[in-house]
Chain A
Amino acid sequence: MLQIHCPYCQEYREEEEFSYAGQAHIERPSEPESLTDQEWAQYLFFRKNPRGLHHEMWYHIHGCKQFFNVCRHTVTYQIISSYKIGDRPELEQSKAVDKESINAN
């Protein structure tokens, strides 16, 4: 069970208070009609499934009801950072970091 820092409440809380809300930083295209079916499908259906750092959204459903971003390692479950919607992650996904952590396991 994870312990997650809510950047709005500024506290660590139990995973039970949160619900997972999918991959972070997916922007809705501003003019959907101008996209081809393939481009629209990319936005709709295609998601990352990295072995390593993953940027994802969580929803503080039994708390402040705010969505926020979390950077989490999918192998170790270590949470590197959690930050508000609209902020950029401190640590962008890096191949080097991924490799290192896989070797460690």
Chain B
Amino acid sequence: MQINRLNHGGNIDRNQVLSFQFNGMTYQGYQGDTLASALLANGVNVVGRSFKYSRPRGIMTADAQEPNAIFQIGTNASTIPNPRATQTPLYDNLVASSTNGWPNVEFDMMAGIGKLGGAMMPPGFYYKTFMYPQSMWMNYEKLIRKGAGLGRSPMTADPDRYDTMHHHCDVMIIGGGVAGIMAALNAAQTGANVIICDEQEQLGGQTLSSTETVNDITATQWLSQQIEQLRKQENILVLSRSTTFGYYDHNLIGINQRCTDHLGEHVPHSTRQRVHKVRAKQIVLATGAHERPLVYGNNDIPGCMLANAISTYIQCYAVIPGNKLVLMTTNDSAYQAAIDWHDAGRQVMAIIDTRPKTDSAIIQQAQNKGINIIFSHAVIEVQGSKRVNSVNIAPINNTGDNVIGPAINIVCDTVASSGGWSPVLHLSSHLGQKPLWRDDIIGFVPGQNDLLNCGAVSGKYALLSVIEDGIATGGKAAELSGFERLTDLPIPDIIPQITAAPMALFHVPHIQTTSRAPKQFVDYQNDVTAAAIELANREGFESIEHVKRYTALGFGTDQGKLGNINGIAITAKSLAKTIPETGTTIFRPMYTPTTMGALAGAHVKQLFAPARFTAMHQWHLQHGAEFEDVGQWKRPWYFPKNGESMQQALLRECLATRNSVGILDASTLGKIDIQGKDAREFLNRIYTNAWSKLGIGKCRYGVMCKEDGMIFDDGVTSCINDHHFIMTTTTGGAAGVLQWLELWHQTEWPELEVYFTSVTDHWTTMTISGPNSRKVLQKVCQDDVSKQALPFMSWIDATVAGVKARIFRISFTGELSFEINVPANLGLSVWQHIMDAGAEFEITPYGTETMHILRAEKGFIIVGQDTDGSVTPQDLDMNWVISPNKSFSCIGKRSWDRIDTKRNDRKQMVGLKAKDTNQVLPEGAQIVLDPQQKLPMTMVGHVTSSYFSACLGYSFALALVKSGTSRYGETVYLPQANGQIYEAEICSPIFYDPKGERQHVE
């Protein structure tokens, strides 16, 4: 039964009955309802429990401020935690539950604890109580969080689709109330492209519940005409259900549009939410104002609401959330709630006006309807448990500081309050601008910045002034974005109303002191009371930022929209400061919580990050490769056969390569094509060794250092001709190296004629390695690849399997090796030919892990594994890669003469042999000289690469050890976290074929 539903009025469709579930109970509402209006229609009082005291809470507001009706909406994978019911359109079969309250909100176990502990839970309670013992905090935290109930995130993959749209527009208008609508219409008539967005289901804002007259028709009828006009205009994009969550640098805003959330929980084949990123020439803030509640005793009992929310529920949803109303107000605007209540046929017990007797049009109107108005009084406290049953009112002095007479009791079930309006300026301070206080409107307005403000956000509340301001600001925005301002749209006829000045009152006095009075809530979601703020002030927290953090004021999922200004006012009063002296806390994005799905957009799964595949990827898949991510590349890691373990596969791959022939897909190595008459000189400057004499057809290994002398990449560069070189880089370093080359060329040496092009993807590279590699190659290549024609560290143009190729005789395994480069499109075909040719030698594909083992056996480094940005070529005992006599002081050279790089106790690369020859030392293990030393031990180095060698028959490692090169033969220790200590001997890092004879086989 919708006991609170009126028989007429509202923007709802009574023919479309929707049923929904809340906390396990089934209710009915109408199309056009929000979840909040439907709950109120059904007379649901308790919708949640409070954070700290577990007090029952009801719906307070009808907008984004809502602190209590914050629910878990939906089920399973498509559930969303923490939407506000006031902004959740009702759909058929909607399922919602409170995010807190255990076992349920009607009977809550924590409430007992809350009542008991209420007086004993001051601000800082958690800090003060759960500090000791520190080790227990993790356990406390779990329990506290369970009790707190901040919603649950879904535990399975999101079935919905999200996306992102980018816009560039002339005028962006945030807020689709009457100010924004008029601004949009007036800006659009100049020809400007306009986007207007609004967070609610319907455009119109406060005017939707207005009862004024405009141009001799009702304000709502006039509003509909304007909205119709808006939708007709081709250069206006209207986004409703679209919350602007952030304002970012250079006029960028982020909007989250809820595309299907109003239709159902999961709508297949559609985009659930869409983020619009709008870069606008001019942004207009028309975000309106939020009503402020007053702070009084037990102001959280269900039935206590904002005055304006009552008007909205009656006018927009035909819901009257109670029977007997008491309204307390500091201003004229709230009178409308009592008038609407009265007109809906229910009883207004009294309007309690905190001001001394005053007069205005709307006060007259209320009096004419026979409503009892009591001036100079306030509701000092409310009685009731799960619903208001009466209030105590008492006379107060003119400044609202003290109660000056005895209280009387009035029976009622609903208390509306209004302390005036707070402009919704959150977005205006997202870039750090502080809001400004205005005494005349008793509120903060946006500070100076690039935004234009119009309507209530700039402190204009009367309908006529809002319309005027909207039109003027729209014109100005179009002008600022480069359009010629035409004659503004006409101002409609509205009869101005005589109003009375509002009173600055935030915290209603009580007969007792704040600390002894019934709880007066400021922040509902976090249970911050006026007494708690005063206590925080007494304890020395004076900065509003400190008060916020100590009391948790504004820390909930509602971000304290309802209570922040009251909290500031209470702090100001208790510290005897003014509100502007006290200041505000900074608002930050998101304005209201935004789902992660919307922010991720389509960038999920395979679109999350690009993956790069070589030409042979399909072959690798078919041959059972396990893959490793190297940068963005998917590289074969190893090729297990017939259920082999990884270790078994590696032993097989290593032995096959050393004994016969192996093949590696090396296509991912970075390749940079360098051309120009000064290419050679450029290489001299960027590499540590000399390139002046590298002949055509020759290859050379080079190391690149940063200017601080530390190695940052290495690779082989080959001379194609005097003005043309091809450089290889590490797989992961390719992009960085190209950027590095460009940086030096563009900023320091633009006079050098040299050009760099990344050709990594153009070439497929396959390395055949092992004593039989030449025999395999000769089967698919008619060119002369003999030792004489193609000596070590040279390259030739050749034809391989009918394909034009470059063959480089370079070796990363220490074996006879040929790196065959063919155009990428033909890579797979050549690979297959070579596999066929190699069959008689049992050619064995190997992956990155075997490559790592084979190169480590030879003491070849991998930049980024054996180096970490703090290693010089000298530290690696690689003086041979440095040419001291180059005419140009190459990058990094000067730094090798710094005192720090010349130290002889630097960490230097060595080999390690474990005492237990089967024990693979953990990579990253720290090395100490004295295992008996008390903790913390002196660490002299660490393991950088470590493997079991099939060819050597024992485990071995590379390590960086202080003064390592002079410590060969010494024993070192590697203490483990489990207390075990490994023992190892320092040796040369070259374990296999130290003389390098194997790569020269005939």
Contacts and interface: CB of A to CB of B under 8 A. Distances in A.
Contacts of A27: 748
A90 to B, nearest CB: 19
Residue in B433, B747, B898 with the greatest tally of chain A CB atoms within 10 Å: B747
Contact of A44 (B248, B431, B895, B899): B895
Interface in A13-43: 14, 19, 21, 27-28, 31-33, 35, 37, 40-41
Given A66-B746, A67-B742, A85-B746, A3 B899 contact: no
Interface residues of B, number: 25
A67 B432 contact: no
Given A1-B249, A1-B250, A21-B743, A28 B748 contact: yes
Contacts of B889: 31-33
B879 interface: no
A23 B898 CA distance: 23
B52 interface: no
Contacts of A67: 742-743, 746-747
B707 interface: yes
Contact of A3 (B279, B433, B897): B279
Contacts of B248: 1
B885 to A, nearest CB: 12
B78 to A, nearest CB: 30
A80 interface: no
Nearest to A59: B739
Contacts of B708: 44
Contacts of B432: 105
A40 B895 contact: yes
Interface string B720-752: 000000000000000000010011001110100
A50 to B, nearest CB: 17
Interface string A61-72: 100011100000
B739 A33 contact: no
A51 to B, nearest CB: 13
A20 B899 CA distance: 31
A44 B709 CA distance: 10
B163 to A, nearest CB: 17
Interface string B249-273: 1111000000000000000000000
Nearest to B744: A28
A51 B561 CA distance: 32
B898 A40 contact: yes
A37 B898 contact: yes
- Taking each of B250, B707, B739, B743, which has the highest tally of chain A beta carbons within 10 Å of its own beta carbon? B250
Contact of B899 (A28, A37, A79): A37
B894 A40 contact: yes
Contacts of B433: 105
Contacts of A31: 889
B49 interface: no
Nearest to B248: A1
B276 to A, nearest CB: 14
A37 B896 CA distance: 11
B893 interface: yes
Contact of A85 (B249, B739, B747, B894): B747
Nearest to B891: A28
Contacts of B898: 37, 40-41
A101 B747 CA distance: 30
Contacts of B279: 3, 14
A77 B250 contact: yes
A65 to B, nearest CB: 6
A100 B250 CA distance: 20
Contact of B250 (A3, A85, A105): A3
Given A32-B893, A33-B894, A77-B249, A85 B750 contact: yes
Contacts of B707: 28, 44
A66 B378 CA distance: 68
A3 B746 contact: no
A41 to B, nearest CB: 8
Given A66-B746, A67-B747, A105-B432, A32 B894 contact: yes
Contacts of B894: 32-33, 35, 40
A77 B449 CA distance: 13
Given A32-B894, A37-B899, A61-B739, A2 B250 contact: yes
Nearest to B449: A76
A63 B288 CA distance: 41
Contacts of A3: 249-252, 279
Contacts of A1: 248-250, 252
Contacts of A6: none
Interface in B322-355: none
Contacts of A19: 739
A53 interface: no
A28 B898 CA distance: 17
Interface string B404-445: 000000000000000000000000000111000000000000
B566 to A, nearest CB: 27
A86 B433 CA distance: 36
Contacts of A28: 707, 748
A35 to B, nearest CB: 7
Contacts of B251: 3
B736 to A, nearest CB: 11
A65 B742 contact: yes
B175 to A, nearest CB: 22
A27 B750 CA distance: 13
B430 to A, nearest CB: 12
A10 to B, nearest CB: 17
A2 B431 CA distance: 12
A41 B708 CA distance: 9
A1 B247 CA distance: 10
A27 to B, nearest CB: 8
A61 B899 CA distance: 36
Contacts of B746: 66-67, 85
A27 B898 CA distance: 20
A14 B739 CA distance: 20
A1 B893 CA distance: 38
B402 to A, nearest CB: 40
Given A21-B743, A37-B899, A86 B250 contact: no
Contacts of A77: 249-250, 431
Contacts of A2: 249-250
A77 B279 CA distance: 16
A24 to B, nearest CB: 9
Contacts of B748: 27-28
Interface in B819-838: none
A67 B432 CA distance: 30
Nearest to B898: A37
B901 to A, nearest CB: 10
A19 B898 CA distance: 31
A94 to B, nearest CB: 22
A74 to B, nearest CB: 12
Nearest to B889: A32
Nearest to A65: B742
Contacts of B895: 40, 44
A27 B743 CA distance: 13
A103 B600 CA distance: 38
Nearest to B277: A1
Interface string B233-254: 0000000000000001111100
A43 to B, nearest CB: 8
Interface string B37-58: 0000000000000000000000
26 contacts: A1-B248, A1-B249, A1-B250, A1-B252, A2-B250, A3-B251, A3-B252, A14-B279, A27-B748, A28-B748, A32-B889, A32-B893, A32-B894, A33-B889, A33-B894, A37-B899, A40-B894, A40-B895, A41-B898, A44-B707, A44-B895, A66-B746, A67-B742, A77-B250, A85-B747, A86-B750
Given A1-B250, A59-B742, 12 more contacts: A1-B252, A3-B252, A14-B279, A32-B889, A33-B897, A37-B897, A40-B895, A40-B898, A57-B747, A67-B742, A67-B747, A86-B750
3 nearest interchain CB pairs? Answer: A32-B894, A3-B250, A32-B889
